Amino acid sequence: MRIPFLLLLLFLLSSVFSFIGCKEVFTWFLECIPAFLGVLVLLLTYKKFRFSNFTYFMIFIHCIILIVGGHYTYAEVPLFDWVKTVFHQSRNNYDKVGHFAQGFVPALIVREIFVRKQVVNGKRWLSFIIISIALAISAFYELIEWFVSINTGESGDAFLGTQGDIWDTQSDMLTALIGAVLAVLIFSKVQDRSVAGTCILSVVPLDV
C-alpha cells in the first residue's frame, strides 16, 4: 500500500475516534475543519501534483494535532495540563504545538511546490518567501479565529483558546514563524532527498 493512502486511512480512523466522546461537537468541527479541507484539496490534486511522502507524513502529523485539539479543545488536552502543573505554567500550551505546526507544515508544502515548479530562483529569496507565506497563513487564521469568536459566543471562545492571555494572538504567530524558520533551516535537505527518492520517506514517481 502506498504511504499516502495508508496515512489517509489512519487520518480517517483517527478522525472517527476524535469525534467519539469529544467535549463539544461544534468546537470539534471548528478545530478539525482545516484538516478535512486540507485533505480534500490533497485528494482533488493528487493526480496533478503528488507530494513527497515526507511532506505527506508531516501533513498527517499536523492533522493529528488538529483532531486531538478538536477532541479535548486546545485548552484542555490532558497531557499539557500535566505539563502545566509540572512546569508551573500559567496555561495549557497545547495550542502552541498547533501553531508551531501551522508554520512548520505550510512552509514545507510551499517549499516543495516552489522547488519542483521552479517558482523562485535563489535559495535566500526562496526561504524568505516561504517563511513570509507561512506567517501570512498564520495571520489569516488568527483573523478567522477572531471572526468566529465574535459571531458564535462561548463556543467560539473555546475555538479561540486565549485562556485569558491578552498576547495570545501575537505569541501564536511568533510560534508559527519559529516553526516555518526551523522547517526551512533543518528539514530542507530531508525534503529534497524525499523528492529525489533517496530516503525512507520517498515516493516514486513524483508527478510535477
Contact 30/18 with Cβ under 8 angstroms?
A: no
Confidence at residue 90, expressed as pLDDT on a 0 to 100 scale: 79
pTM comes to 0.87
Contact 39/51 with Cβ under 8 angstroms?
A: no
pLDDT tens, position by position, 151-162? 766 655 555 555
User: Can you give the residue ranges of every domain in the chain?
Assistant: 3-73+90-196
Whether the link from the prior residue into 205 is cis, omega within 30° of 0, is yes
Is the pLDDT confidence value at 106 over 60?
A: yes
Q: Read off the C-alpha cell for 156.
A: 467560539
Q: What is the mean pLDDT of residues 92-107?
A: 94
Contact 110/116 with Cβ under 8 angstroms?
A: no
Confidence at residue 175, expressed as pLDDT on a 0 to 100 scale: 95
pLDDT tens, position by position, 15-30? 999 999 998 898 899 8
- Cα 187 to chain centroid distance, Å, stands at 16
- Which residue is associated with the grid cell 500550551? 93
Q: Among residues 130, 118, 120, which one has the least CA distance to residue 179?
A: 130
Give the C-alpha separation, 107 to 93, whole Å: 22
Confidence at residue 149, expressed as pLDDT on a 0 to 100 scale: 75
Confidence at residue 208, expressed as pLDDT on a 0 to 100 scale: 43
Is the pLDDT confidence value at 177 over 70?
A: yes
Confidence at residue 199, expressed as pLDDT on a 0 to 100 scale: 57
Of 205 and 115, which is predicted with more confidence?
A: 115
Q: Read off the C-alpha cell for 131.
A: 517563511
Q: Read off the C-alpha cell for 53.
A: 511522502
Of 90 and 43, which is predicted with more confidence?
A: 43
pLDDT tens, position by position, 182-208? 999 999 999 999 998 855 555 444 544
pLDDT tens, position by position, 123-148? 899 999 999 999 999 999 888 888 87
Confidence at residue 122, expressed as pLDDT on a 0 to 100 scale: 85
pLDDT tens, position by position, 50-85? 999 999 999 999 999 999 999 998 888 999 888 888
Confidence at residue 161, expressed as pLDDT on a 0 to 100 scale: 56
Whether the link from the prior residue into 4 is cis, omega within 30° of 0, is no
